[in-house]
Structure 1
Amino acid sequence: MSTNQSIPQTKKRISSIDILRGLVMLFMLLDHVRERFFYHMPISDPINIDDTSTGLFFSRILAHLCAPVFVFLTGLSAWLYAHPKGKTPRSASSFLWKRGLFLILIEITLINFSWFGDYKTLYLQVIWAIGVSMISLALLSKLDLKWIGLLGFVIVFGHNMLTSIHLNEDQIGYTIWTVLYQRGFILPNDFIAIKASYPVLPWIGVILLGYFTGPLFVGEKFNAEERLKTLVKIGLSCLGLLLVIRGFNIYGETLPWEKQDTFIQSVMSFLNFKKYPPSLDFILLTIGIGCFLLYLFEKMQNRFTEFLRTYGSAPMFFYILHLYVLLIAYKILVNVYGTNQGEYFGFDHLWQIWLCTIALSLVLFYPTKKFSDYKRKSTSKWIKYF
C-alpha cells in the first residue's frame, strides 16, 4: 500500500485532518514492513482466513484504513483549497490537474523503483490511483456540489454491480476496463510489463465524497459542534448499514461471510473484505471508522497527536523516504545474512514486524519533521507537492 497527498488549504491547517492522515501513514508503514520482511507469508485478496494467523489478519485489516482515508481526505482537502476560510473561493481544478499528473509521474519512476530496485514490471498502485482520482476531480469539480455528491454515491454504492463483468485480453475495451475496475496486466510487451494493481473507479467515487464533505469543515452552515455531531452521524450510518448488508449477505461484497468454529474466526470472516477493487463493505468500514477518528482527533490534543500530525503534514516525503529505507535495509540484510525464508530474507515472527515498525516510526520522525517545517516556510510551489 502507499499514501495520499494533502492539498494546502489555509495558512492554519486543520489539525484533525493531519493527525488522521499521520495515523494511517503509520498503519501504512506497518503494512509495508510486513510486505518487505514477511513476503514469505503472502496475503491474498480477500484474505484466506484458514491460512492466515489472527495477528497477521488484523495487522492487515489495520492497513485497510490507509487508502480510503487518504483518498477521502484528498477530496476533503481539495474543497478546503477551493474555499479558504475568510477568502474568496477559487477553482481547485488547475492544482488538482497538475498534482494528479505529478503523482502519476512519481508513481512510475521513484516509487515503482523502490519496490524491487528494478523496472521489470511497472505497477500502477495507490499513488497512481490517487493521481487519476485527482485528475477526475479536477474535471468534475466544476459541477454543482450536489451533483458531485450524487455521482460519488452512485459510484461507491453501485460499483459492486459490475463485479461479474470480466474481459479477456483479446476483447475490445480490456485495457480501459482493467484500469477502471478489473485489475491485471495491460499493454503486454517484451520490454516491460504493466500491471494496474489499483482499479481506479471506486477511488474516484471516494474522492468525490470527500470533496462533497468539505463544507463540514469550512462554511457558514456548520460550527465545530455541528461538525462533530455530523461526523458521528456519518460514522454510525456507515457502520450501521454495513452491519445490515454484510450481516445478511445482502450486497456489497463478493465473498459472503460464514459462521466459523470460533467467535474470532467468525469476526475475521465478517471483516474479510475485498480491496482490489475496494468493495462497498470495505469503504463503509474504513470511512465510517475514519469519521469517528476525525471526531476524536478534533477533541484530542496531546504529544501523541502532535507526533501523528507531523507525519500527516508531509505525507509524500515520508512515503518516498520509508520505501527507500526499507529497500536499502532489505538489500543490506540479504547481503549480510543471505536469504533465510526460501528465496527471501524475512522475519520469523509477527512481533518482529511490529517492533521494526515502531523503531522506524521513531527513526524517520526527525527527517519528516525537518522537511515538514521546511515545507511550511518555503515559498516553492514544487515543495508543496510533497
Structure 2
Amino acid sequence: MNSNISSNPSLSANIAEQASSPTLGRSRINSIDMMRGAVMLIMLLDHARERFFFHMQVSDPMDLSSTSWGLFLSRFAAHFCAPVFVFLTGVSAWLYANRSHGEPRSARMFLIKRGLFLIALEILVINFSNLSWMVSYYTLWLQVIWVIGLSMLALAALIKLPRPWMAVLGLAIVFGHNLLTPIGFQPNEWAYSLWTILHDRGYLISEGALRVKVSYPVLPWIGVILLGYVAGPIFSQKSNGNPLEASQRQQTLLKLGISCWGLFAVLRGFNLYGETLPWQAGANFGETLMSVVNLTKYPPSLSFLLVTLGGMFFCLVAFERHFASDGKADGSLARVGHWLSVFGSVPMFFYILHLYVLLLLYTLAKFTFGANHGEFYGVNSIGWVWLIAALLAVGLYYPVKRFSQYKKNSTQAWIKYL
C-alpha cells in the first residue's frame, strides 16, 4: 500500500526556535509556529484520507469527473503543506544565521547536518510507516522529508551567494522550471536518474525486492527554499539597523500575497503559462472554480506555488494580527493561536507520531472489520475522514504539548532534531 505521505511536511521548528530570543518579537515567531501548526493539522487530514479513504484515490492533477467536492477540498487544502514548510525552512535558516543579538553566524553546517538527518529519517523511519506487513517487498518513497533535506543541502551549498543573486536564482527556478516540462528521459538513458530526482516524478528502481520512487522532484523546491532565505529579513527584528515594526512586516507580506494571487489570476485566467493542464469551464461556477485551482503538485507548477505561497503570506498576517497572545487577539482566538503554535513547535515529533498512530489504527480496523473495499479497509464518506482527523488532533495535542515542554527544558543536543 502506498500511503503516499505526499501532502506533508515537516520541520524547521528547531531552526526557528534557536533563532528566537527573549528580545525577538514573539508575535512574529508565534505566527510562524501557528502557520506550521495549521499545515500540520491539514497534513493530518490528508494522511487520514490516505489511510481510510485510499479506495478513492486522487490523481495529480485531480480527475474532476470522479472527485467529489469534499474530496477535492480535502486534497486541495493539503497542497499548502509542502510549500509552507520549505519556504519557512529558508526563513528560519536566515534567522538562525542573523541573530538579533551577537555576531552573525554561518548556517551552512547547521543545514548540512539537518539535511542529512532528514534524508536518513525519510529512508529509515518514515518509510516504515508505509509498510504493508503482509508482503515480501515494499517501495521506498522519497517524499517531502527527503525533498526538504535535499533543499537544505542545496541552500547550504549556495549560502555564500549575495542575497540579490540568490533571489534571482530562486525566481528563475520557480518561474522557469515549467519550461523544462517537455524534457524527458527513458529509464535506459544516461540522464534518467538525475532528471527523475530533479524534475520528473518516477522510479529510480522499478523492479526487484526494493523499489525506489521519487515522489517529490527537488528542483522547484530549491527555488522555494532560496526565496524563503531571501525573505528572512522580513521576519527580523531590525531592517538596515532600524527597528522593524509589525505593521511594516504585515504590509510587506500583504503585498507579496496580493502579487502572488494577482499574477496567478492573469497567468491561469488566460491559460498563458505556469500550468500543464488548462482550466475549462464547467456546468456551473463551482465546477469551473475546481478546474481553475486543479493544479500540478509533482513537480509543483508555477501556478501551484503562486496560490499556496500567496495564501501563506495572507495567513501569516492574519495569525500575527488576530491570533497572537501578545497582540490584539481576544481570548478565544489567542487560545486557538496557542493551540496551533504547540503543534508547530515540534513538527518532526508530531509528523512521526501521527504516521505511526494512523498505521496502528488502520491495522486494527482492518484486522477487526476486514477489507471492505477490495484489499483495503476504508470508510464510506469523506466526512468520516474529517471526523477521524479531528479526533486525532484532539488526542495528539497533549503528548505533543508535553514533548514541546520537554524539548524546551532539555539540554540534550539530539532532542532539538525532533
Give the TM-score taking structure 1 as reference length.
0.98
Please give the residue correspondences for 1:171-320 in structure 2 after superposition, counting only pairs within 5 Å: 171-218=189-236, 219-221=238-240, 222-300=244-322, 301=324, 302-320=334-352
Say whether residues 1:11 and 2:21 are aligned partners. yes
Counterpart in the other structure of 1:94: 109
Give % identity.
Answer: 53
Q: How far, CA to CA, are the matches of 1:142 and 1:187 in structure 2?
A: 35
Letter in 2 for 1:269: S
Output one character per residue of 1:314-348: Cα deviation in whole Å (capped at 9) or x when no partner: 00000000000000111111111101111100000
Partners of 1:289 and 1:4 in 2: how far apart? 18
Aligned residue for 2:223, secondary structure, equals: helix
Structure 1 contact 149–212 (Cα < 8 Å) conserved: yes
8 A Cα contact 1:242 1:285, kept in partner: yes
Q: Does 1:373 align with 2:405?
A: yes
Looking at structure 1, the residues matched to 10 and 87 of structure 2 have their Cα atoms a distance apart, in angstroms, of 9
Which letter maps to 2:202? G
- Aligned residue type for 1:43: V
State the distance in 1 between where 2:415 and 2:73 align. Answer: 36
Contact 1:5–1:316 (Cα < 8 Å) also in 2: yes
Kindly indicate whether the alpha-carbon contact (under 8 Å) linking 1:152 and 1:205 is maintained by their aligned counterparts in 2.
yes
Pick closer, same or farther for the CA change 1:88–1:367 going to 2, 3 Å. Answer: same
Q: Indicate whether 1:2 and 2:36 are aligned.
A: no
Q: Is the 8 A contact 2:8 2:78 kept in 1?
A: no
CA shift at 1:117, angstroms?
Answer: 4.5
Give the whole-Å Cα distance in 2 for the aligned partners of 1:67 and 1:91. 25
Pair 1:78 & 2:107 matched: no
Contact map agreement 1:257 1:269 (CA 8 A) in 2? yes
Q: State the 1:189 CA deviation.
A: 5.0
1:27-46 correspondence to structure 2 within 5 Å? 27-46=42-61
Give the whole-Å Cα distance in 2 for the aligned partners of 1:297 and 1:334.
Answer: 40
SS in 1 for 2:160: coil
Q: Is 2:328 the partner of 1:322?
A: no
Tell me if the contact between 2:140 and 2:213 (Cα under 8 Å) persists in the aligned partners: yes
After TM superposition, give the deviation of residue 223 of structure 1 in Å.
2.4
Q: Deviations over 1:261-294 (max 9, x none)?
A: 1110000000000000000000000000000001
CA contact (8 A) 1:175 1:187 kept: no
1:49 to 44, 47, 64: 64
Give the drift of 1:376: 1.1
SS at match of 1:364: helix
Residue 385 of structure 1: how far off its partner (Å): 1.0
The separation in 1 between residues aligned to 2:366 and 2:36, in whole angstroms, is 32
Larger mean CA deviation between 102-111 and 2-11 belongs to 2-11
Q: Distance in 2 between matches of 1:120 and 1:347?
A: 25
Rounded to whole Å, the distance in 2 between the matches of 1:188 and 1:242 is: 36
Contact 1:179 1:200 (C-alpha < 8 Å) held by counterparts: yes
Deviations 1:201-227 (A, max 9, x none): 001100000000000111324321111
Match of 2:331 in 1: none
Amino acid at match of 2:388: C
Q: Runs of 5+ in structure 2 lacking a partner?
A: 1-6, 325-333
Equivalent position amino acid for 1:59 in 2: S
- Per the TM alignment, residue 123 of structure 1 is displaced from its structure 2 partner at its CA by 0.5
- In the alignment, the residues of structure 1 paired with residue 132 and residue 257 of structure 2 have an alpha-carbon distance, to the nearest angstrom, of 40
Tell me what 2:329 maps to. none
Q: RMSD of the TM alignment (CA)? A: 1.1
Q: Which moved more, 1:266-275 or 1:79-88?
A: 79-88
Tell me the distance in 2 between the aligned counterparts of 1:56 and 1:3. 20
User: Which stretches of structure 1, 4 residues or more, deviate above 4 A after TM superposition?
Assistant: none
2:172 corresponds in structure 1 to 154
The residue aligned with 1:164 is 182
2:390 counterpart of 1:358:
yes
| Alignment correspondent of 1:64 | 79
- How far off its partner does 1:172 sit? 1.2
Structure 1 residue aligned with 2:3: none
User: The residue matched to 2:182 in structure 1 has which SS?
Assistant: coil
Equivalent residue pairs, number: 386
* 2:379 aligns with one of 335, 347, 350: 347
1:188 deviation in Å? 4.3
Maintained 8 Å contact 1:5/1:315: yes
Instruction: Structure 1 unaligned segments of length 5 or more: list them.
Output: none
Contact 2:253/2:317 (CA < 8 Å) preserved in 1? yes
The residue number in structure 2 matching 1:107 is 122
Measure the CA separation in 1 of the matches of 2:281 and 2:208.
47
CA distance in 1, matches of 2:37, 2:160: 30
2:39 to 14, 19, 24: 24
Local SS of the residue matching 2:290: helix
Q: Deviations over 1:36-62 (max 9, x none)?
A: 000000000000001100111011111
Looking at structure 2, the residues matched to 62 and 365 of structure 1 have their Cα atoms a distance apart, in angstroms, of: 21
CA contact (8 A) 1:4 1:74 kept: no
Q: Does the 8 Å CA contact 1:117/1:327 hold for their aligned counterparts? A: no
Shift of residue 116 of structure 1? Answer: 2.2
